[in-house]
């Protein structure tokens, strides 16, 4: 340190306190970065890397960005998951006796961004905090842009990760003592920036007073402490912490949300093509965010669902009122984020004009809702607070079209402040006096080109061209400046008026800024009311959105049952929209006491996966309060949805397709209840045929016997269809396909019974594989069919058949070879015979483990 200049020493001292962030160090009109920050920033931002003398032997790497355009560069770094510490000069350089004082005024992180392109209008920008306890994990969420705060206690880290992924939190705050494995999971599975906060506080804040659980209090206060430490400004807009339980809503795990494409598609990760894309007919940013929250957390209480349904039904019945409501909502800006900007201190006059224009719409919206002729609608209208006093305050204070800058003046209306009016009068009268002076001097001197001008260096002056100088009386003016073609003069009266005008204009700008700051503080007092109003407007927006979609796409109101599924002419909502120009083939789905499981067979491309997803999406639509795409829909209220659809390697965690398959299957089997919905698409295809078939059958039997959940199981193992005879609650259905002149036609119709053919080669033909390859595949298929080598169901397979079949790689140990058997001891043979006689599927996992332990003891 001693070898560096005082300024570099100051930089290093501040940098030591913010090691995990880029330090934007203010030097004049630039933010500079040095050392490793400079090297890394020059690469990430693609800016020139230079160097400077810092007092040491070697020059110091340096790069920088202009302060007036720094926001764009900061945004780039935040988007890549970095943090930026803004270090400003905190004293006037002219008054500084040594190195200018500097300090970090804000730490900008992925979870604390307040504006810019990184903030999407219809998405929350949550920052999360995770704390480990002996019996589980505390999770807290906060959105600085809207002031929302949530907290929940979760037992499993998998559910914590799923919840963070669902809300899209880009930053997670943890303690330095959290297990490294958990930190790695949070970072890799959630794609989040990890921040450390070990600061402890006993501070009691009003927004967290209702937290009775010490675990939730500890978790939220860790997050609050981090926000307070890094933002260094008012957090008055933060709303009361809402405690929720995962069991209060339908649980949809991370994999299922991805597989069902609820908010983004699997391939492109874009909104287009997802359920959210289909439904989003909202007119406000607030409504768009609430809609996503509703999709993420469908309801499980019939009363809450029916309350939404009634409002949707009422809005459908009142077309003109609904269209008027949509037009009014279009004029409502983002009240939640405007309130956040007011509290954060970065609101400008145009933002407050948006607030004013929004509040102007509220009385009409309130009247519209009250006119819907429904008790629930009238009650909702009565609860709406129009915030008329806020509107009146803004009407009285602000100009209709204020400038973007807060220091240019012209912010406040005439009549709002007496002192301001006096300054404006002085400025206006002074300028009128200047205009009169110019007219008088032109008449007196006879010089038509004489003019009174102004510049920042000399102030006001009288300018006369050199050609007209002979017309001036000696001593009338005092020479001030000589130009090439003219002379500039002043008079004592002109200088006096100049002082009055300039003083008034300077005072106007300063006073207007002070008045605006006071207005902002006054608006702060109304933030809780504005946030409550924002919630009411967003709910109305989401409900009108459901009504609009339901009417336009001919959806019907679903009915809820105890344990029965009856969907008549159901349609996949997203696929139907994408196929608007084509006719969609609807399908029925009936599941009851005798058919809790549907085993679906049929060729690839026939629509098995679409049919399965369709049932899940119809259930989700029903439980968020929307109508559904069907002619009739009777549904139970599902507590959870599990899916195993599609095949993809999880490269991040180093897991193969088959392992991902097994993990997703395990998640469903372990956590599902009889009130859950399970979708299994071709389980077992990631391993060898026999293994896959055996696993598929075992999973079907386990779900059937031990869970009893509504299950849709699609498979290419046609041998499994015989299970219908063995399992009382399993029913075979298939997707119809017909063959005409050697070409397969997929009818996309679900019919009872099992499929009779696979049509795999026909699908390859549709994919336009080479003709020679297709012909060879057909020859091989005929040969296999003629020789009868088609494998039978594993449970029915005679031992002799197994020996005769060609060997294949297996996930399981297929037993000892005959030569090896002859070497077994008597005791080993006894153990092997005992093991063969055990029926593992009838045991609990613990019983199986105990039995295995006993056998191992005998062998040892």
Binding-site residue numbers are 602-609
Q: In terms of Cα–Cα distance, which of 614, 639, 642 is closest to 628?
A: 614
Cα–Cα distance between 281 and 594 in angstroms, integer? 40
Q: Which two tokens stand for residue 72?
A: 């764009």
- Spatial distance between the Cα atoms of 726 and 217, rounded to a whole number of angstroms: 53
Distance from the Cα of residue 403 to its chain's centroid: 33
| Token output for 292 | 């996503």
Find the DSSP H helices in 738-825. Answer: 760-766, 771-787, 799-804, 818-821
Residue 240 CB coordination number (10 Å):
17
Residues sharing a CB contact under 8 Å with residue 122, sequence separation 6 or more, in sequence order: 280, 282, 285, 288, 289, 291, 292
**Half-sphere exposure at residue 338, Cβ-oriented, CA atoms within 13 angstroms:** 27
Residues of each annotated binding site for ATP: 602-609
CA distance 108 to 295: 30
Give the integer Cα–Cα distance in Å for 216 and 186.
19
Give the residue ranges of DSSP H helices in 270-371.
275-279, 285-296, 302-317, 319-330, 335-344, 349-370
CB neighbourhood size of 104 (10 A): 19
Cβ pair 716, 685 in contact under 8 A: yes
What does residue 843 show for φ and ψ, rounded to 5 degrees?
-105, 155
Element (H, E) at 220: helix 214-231
Pairwise CA distance, residues 260 & 628, whole Å: 16
CA atoms within 13 A on the CB side of 394: 25
Q: Yes or no: say if 145 and 235 are a contact pair by the CB < 8 Å rule.
A: no
Residue 484 burial by CB count (10 A; 0-12/13-18/19+): exposed, middle or buried? exposed
Task: Catalogue the E-assigned strands of 249-340.
Answer: 251-252
CA distances from 158 to 32, 62, 223, 695 (A): 42, 43, 21, 24
73 C-beta neighbours (distance < 10 Å), count? 20
Structural element, H or E, at residue 33: strand 30-34
């Amino acid at each position: 340190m001693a070898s560096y200049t005082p300024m570099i020493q100051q930089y290093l001292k501040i940098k030591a306190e913010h090691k995990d962030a880029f330090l934007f160090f203010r030097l004049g009109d630039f933010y500079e970065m040095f050392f490793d920050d400079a090297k890394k920033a020059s690469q990430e931002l693609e800016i020139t890397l230079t160097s400077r003398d810092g007092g040491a032997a070697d020059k110091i790497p340096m790069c920088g960005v202009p302060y007036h355009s720094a926001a764009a560069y900061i945004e780039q770094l935040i988007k890549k998951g970095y943090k930026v510490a803004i270090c400003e000069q905190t004293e006037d350089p002219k008054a500084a006796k040594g190195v200018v004082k500097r300090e970090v005024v804000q730490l900008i992180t992925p979870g604390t961004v307040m504006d810019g392109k990184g903030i999407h209008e219809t998405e929350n920008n949550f920052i999360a905090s995770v704390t480990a306890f002996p019996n589980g994990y505390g999770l807290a969420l906060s959105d600085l842009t809207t002031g929302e705060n949530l907290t929940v206690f979760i037992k499993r880290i998998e559910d914590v990760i799923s919840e963070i992924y669902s809300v899209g939190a880009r930053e997670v705050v943890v303690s330095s003592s959290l297990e490294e494995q958990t930190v790695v999971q949070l970072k890799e599975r959630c794609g989040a920036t990890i921040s450390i906060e070990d600061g402890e506080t006993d501070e009691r804040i009003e927004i967290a007073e209702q937290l009775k659980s010490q675990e939730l209090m500890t978790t939220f206060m860790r997050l609050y402490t981090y926000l307070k430490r890094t933002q260094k400004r008012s957090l008055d807009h933060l709303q009361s912490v809402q405690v929720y339980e995962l069991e209060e809503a339908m649980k949809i795990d991370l994999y299922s949300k991805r597989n069902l494409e609820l908010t983004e598609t699997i391939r492109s990760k874009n909104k287009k093509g997802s359920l959210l894309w289909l439904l989003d007919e909202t007119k406000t940013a607030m409504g768009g965010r609430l809609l996503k929250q509703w999709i993420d957390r469908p309801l499980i209480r019939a009363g809450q669902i029916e309350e939404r349904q009634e409002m949707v039904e009422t809005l459908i019945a009142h077309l003109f009122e609904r269209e008027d409501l949509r037009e009014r909502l279009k004029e409502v800006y983002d009240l939640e984020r405007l309130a956040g900007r007011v509290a954060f201190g970065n609101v400008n006059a145009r933002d407050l004009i948006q607030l004013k224009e929004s509040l102007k719409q509220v009385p009409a919206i309130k009247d519209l809702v009250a006119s819907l002729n429904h008790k629930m609608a009238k009650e909702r209208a009565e609860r709406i607070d129009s915030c008329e006093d806020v509107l009146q305050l803004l009407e009285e204070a602000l100009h209709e079209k204020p400038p973007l800058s807060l220091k240019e003046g012209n912010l406040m209306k005439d009549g709002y402040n007496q002192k301001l009016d006096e300054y404006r009068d002085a400025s206006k009268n002074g300028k009128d006096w200047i205009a009169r002076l110019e007219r008088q001097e032109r008449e007196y001197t006879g010089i038509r080109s004489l003019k009174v001008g102004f510049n920042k260096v000399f102030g006001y002056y009288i300018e006369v061209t050199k050609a007209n100088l002979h017309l001036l009386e000696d001593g009338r003016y005092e020479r001030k400046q000589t130009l090439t073609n003219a002379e500039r003069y002043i008079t004592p009266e002109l200088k006096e008026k100049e002082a009055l005008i300039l003083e008034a204009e300077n005072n106007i700008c300063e006073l207007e800024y002070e008045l605006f700051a006071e207005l902002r503080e006054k608006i702060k007092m109304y933030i809780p009311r504005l946030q409550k109003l924002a919630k009411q407007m967003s709910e109305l927006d989401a409900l009108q959105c459901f009504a609009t979609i339901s009417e336009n796409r001919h959806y019907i109101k679903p009915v809820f049952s105890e344990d029965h599924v009856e969907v008549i002419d159901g349609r996949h909502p997203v696929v139907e929209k994408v196929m608007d120009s084509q006719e969609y083939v609807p399908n029925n789905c009936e599941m009851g006491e005798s058919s809790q499981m549907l085993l679906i067979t049929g060729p690839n491309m026939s629509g098995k996966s679409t049919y399965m997803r369709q049932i899940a999406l119809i259930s989700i639509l029903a439980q968020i309060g929307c109508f559904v795409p069907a002619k009739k829909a009777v549904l139970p209220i599902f507590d959870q949805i599990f899916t195993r659809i599609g095949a993809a390697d999880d490269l991040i965690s180093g897991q193969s397709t088959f392992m991902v398959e097994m993990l997703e299957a395990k998640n469903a089997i372990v956590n599902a209840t009889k009130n859950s919905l399970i979708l299994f698409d071709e389980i077992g295809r990631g391993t060898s045929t026999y293994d896959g078939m055996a696993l598929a059958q075992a999973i079907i039997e386990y779900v059937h016997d031990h869970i009893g959940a509504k299950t849709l199981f699609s498979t290419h193992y046609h041998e499994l269809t015989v299970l219908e005879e063995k399992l009382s609650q399993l029913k075979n259905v298939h997707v119809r396909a017909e063959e005409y002149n050697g070409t397969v036609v997929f009818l996309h119709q679900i019919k009872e019974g099992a499929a009779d053919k696979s049509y795999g080669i026909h699908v390859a033909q549709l994919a336009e594989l080479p003709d020679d390859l297709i012909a060879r595949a057909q020859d091989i298929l005929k040969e296999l069919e003629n020789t009868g080598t088609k494998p039978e169901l594993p449970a029915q397979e005679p031992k002799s058949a197994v020996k005769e079949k060609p060997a294949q790689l297996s996930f399981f140990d297929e037993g000892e070879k005959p030569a090896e058997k002859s070497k077994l001891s008597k005791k080993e043979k006894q153990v092997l015979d005992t093991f063969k006689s055990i029926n593992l599927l009838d045991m609990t996992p613990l019983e199986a483990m105990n039995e295995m332990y006993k056998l191992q003891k005998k062998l040892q």
